[in-house]
Amino acid sequence: MNQDFSSTEQFYSLLPARVLDSVELCGVRATGRSLALNSLENRVYEVEIECEPSIDPYERFRVIKFYRPGRWSRDSILDEHGFLRELSDGDVEVVPPVVFPSDGETLHLLDPEQIWFAVYQKIGGRNLDELDRERLLQVGRTLARLHAIGSRKRALHRLDLSGETYVGESHRVLEETGAVPTHLRESYSSLISQAAEYAERYIDKKSFIRIHGDFHSGNILWIGERCKVVDFDDFVNGPPVQDIWLLTPGRDRETQDAREILLEGYEQMREFDRRSLVLVELLRAMRIIRFHGWIAKRWEDPSFPRLFTRFQLLEYWNEEMQAVRESLELFEEAVQLR
């Protein structure tokens, strides 16, 4: 049997005993209670462990992440773990993986399934959809510190945010899977090619640093007045503006004002090239296209058809294509291409 296929099939249906055994490798003892957490790309479980009574209720749990086979190499995951350690050491509040006492490593291989996994401390906190001025300033400063550390070097085994990696690859997946309705394929292919061309022409790779890559409000946890940045699965080498616009994605006046406050906080700690804001609509179009490719590539995962129920509907594709077209038109206006 093909090893990748075997690993993927077992990834879809990890046995509880394997989850518990894997957690115990980090030097704790599981009580036997575990809970599957919401995660589409990976398989993530909360596991209760035996421990002395503690003031911190989260001390009784560990979170174990099993990485989807074929998505990341060992080196690319270690790039993420290394970045998290750098950020933690630099006083950016993140959740680095647990170091196993047996070997001093953070990444381990579930054998014979051949699935990489890591263990994390459970943390509390809540997401906030709306941030007041003080919180926006704080997030801006936090992001600036994250980028300052990210600028020290490139991630050698992570993607560059480019027309090829974000758009070209998704284009190939959509063609191979036939996900786009037949009579819309030519039109959508033209839009995708246009987005890829603009990305290669206008996104300056000399500006690339290590960025979060998916810096929206759902990936910021608030513990009282402190913010903690989580979920670095999509961390890449890319332009800093990618992390700015995802937290302030709207086009309305209120969102623009929030973005200005976010940048005010950011610029207290680090310079930001405001000329790069012209890329926002292009980056939006690229994200939509990449999202389509991601769903199409994962369609054999049983959880995807259950969640993305409209993905095969003509109405869905008409709406999504219009969103891409609108973003590209706004980008063209911004750079005066028309």
Where among 121, 143, 158 does a domain terminate?
Answer: 121
Per-residue pLDDT of the chain (338 residues; tens, 9 = 90+): 344 546 777 888 788 999 999 999 999 999 999 999 999 999 999 999 998 887 788 899 999 999 999 999 999 999 999 999 999 999 999 999 999 999 999 999 998 889 999 999 999 999 998 999 999 999 999 999 999 999 999 999 999 999 999 999 999 999 999 999 999 999 999 999 999 999 999 999 999 999 999 999 999 999 999 999 999 999 999 999 999 999 999 999 999 999 999 999 999 999 999 999 999 999 999 999 999 999 999 999 999 999 999 999 999 999 999 999 999 999 999 998 54
Is residue 182 in a domain? yes
Same domain, 175 and 218: yes
The CATH number of residue 56's host domain is 3.30.200.70
Q: Mapping DSSP to helix (H, G, I), strand (E, B) and coil, where does residue 138 land?
A: helix
Domain span at residue 57 reads 3-121
Does one domain contain both 175 and 44?
Answer: no
pLDDT at 337: 58
- Residue 11's pLDDT is what? 86
Q: Which of 33, 46, 48, 36 is nearest to 11 (CA)?
A: 36
Task: Give the C-alpha separation, 3 to 208, whole Å.
Answer: 35
For residue 4, the model assigns a pLDDT of 52
**141 and 117 belong to one structural domain:** no
**Same domain? 148 vs 85:** no
In Å, how far are 82, 92, 133 from 85, measured between CA atoms? 5, 10, 29
pLDDT of residue 338: 45
Burial of 307 (0-12, 13-18, 19+ CB in 10 A): exposed
User: Domains in the chain: how many in total?
Assistant: 2
Model confidence, pTM = 0.94
Do 101 and 81 fall within a single domain? yes
What is the domain-level CATH number for residue 183? 1.10.510.10
Is 128 among the domain residues?
no
Q: Which residues contact 248 (CB under 8 A, 6 or more apart)?
A: 255, 256, 258, 259, 262
Answer whether 23's CB lies under 8 Å from 60's CB: no
Query: Does residue 126 form part of some domain?
Result: no
Q: Is 18 inside any structural domain?
A: yes
Say what the pLDDT of residue 1 is: 39
Q: Could you tell me if residue 64 is inside a domain?
A: yes
Say yes or no: 26 and 57 in one domain: yes
151, part of any domain: yes
Cα 294 to chain centroid, rounded: 12
Residue 22 placed within a domain: yes
Residue 336 to residue 194: CA distance in whole angstroms: 15
- Domain match, 99 and 202 both: no
